[in-house]
Chains A and B, each alone.
Chain A
């Protein structure tokens, strides 16, 4: 099911198992469209975060017993052990559930990723800092305090800083794992608004922290239960008219 134009990520028969048996994925087949917000939702343990971490190979850090299938980013299989994971992680950015700011200044948090590539030119770094902060709707609030420690920001600001940080390297895909779970409604609203703007230039995959958030932002929604993809749909269709009973039960709050 494609909404318009391109498929950014194609998942074919993906199965994943951890050594301790937790949160595995079973035979996932799915397409992630470009320039849209794809939402992966479902109860805990469903495999959503695991799938997210496959996209930037962050699951390499965990104890994976078995992984099979193909995940194609454009035309490259990112599960291929021969690919350059570093470059992949620059093409696919990630925002985590709890805002993790590095113990540095606001500016350094943002330039960190660029400096890793060897970029030293002040002009390029400063431009990247401003651009990403504007995209995260944070520029006005911090433009005079760029050299202050990032921990001095409020929770909502820190999370938007993390969003900005993921944008600095100009990735093609942005992954967000419950990005607003600790935030107040206003900050949540700001993040969601930024995502709506960003989707025009980026592919966004989001694990929401509530069904309501999923319904608010999804262009494509996919329901996961215990490692299986149960159902997917376009826009609000899944939330208004779920086809599978399990989807309906979850959305209705009968379990969760």
Chain B
């Protein structure tokens, strides 16, 4: 009597615990997504700085230059400085927008020119260092923000310090350092640098917060994936354990307590069935193009090891992809018949998209046909003298009459 096999579907039997290399690859993948978030926020902050700088330069500074030109002539107007600053600003903006400006080259070229422009502006300003026309002193900080966008905050602070020092020096040199003017100078320095530092530091803070958020989300997703994989592996292990237990445990118990008599034909058949089932379980999760055919080959091979001549004929038609429980239900009669075969067996497969018919014709005796394990699989059995015929037919549920 063929024992009833356990028919628990292994969940994701091909899933294996993530290998260290795969974990590293996963981390690399997640780093990419975090870096992408970081880059998007950084670019947004940079665009804010660019818009504010050039917006103010065009709308706020350009009219002052024109006004100065009209009243004091071109030399005192600072038009050339305005043009140079514009070129420097565009250059800095283009470089940092393209991801550059990480090295010292950009600030080393731009910052000295900006400081020189600031000094020149203070010297030629018609209304003094603190006057309306000394726009370079307040404007250089914005261009420095662009040039130092990808550099340390300390460098920007150092630039401000340098600008304040040279501005203060000129203030003293020109004899404008009255108490009131010094107070105004300090207030001016604090005012302009606070605004520029806010844009510079604010963008960095928002970018850092976004990166931390992305990292946290990424870590959560990784943990969840690892948890799902671990649960799948555990379920597959449990399923395999139950299948194997259901297949061989009672046989081993029978051998241990002497109840199983291996001289008995049915007992030998039962052992042969269990061995073939185990071999089939081992290959069920193999990734091969035709799993049913692969499993049949394993069944045939197990029988040939017992000296049975098995003629496993290549399938007629193309075997559709079938779930493991259907494949088990199809191969189970074959396994039972092979266990009962005396010398030779012919196994055939006829398949179409909606139907698969497995059959075995063999010389042998089977006390009873194996039970059907799946509702979509119908098995037939016939015996004539020493010849037995078993057929398992799967019909796609979508085409079978309900």
Q: Do A and B bind?
A: no
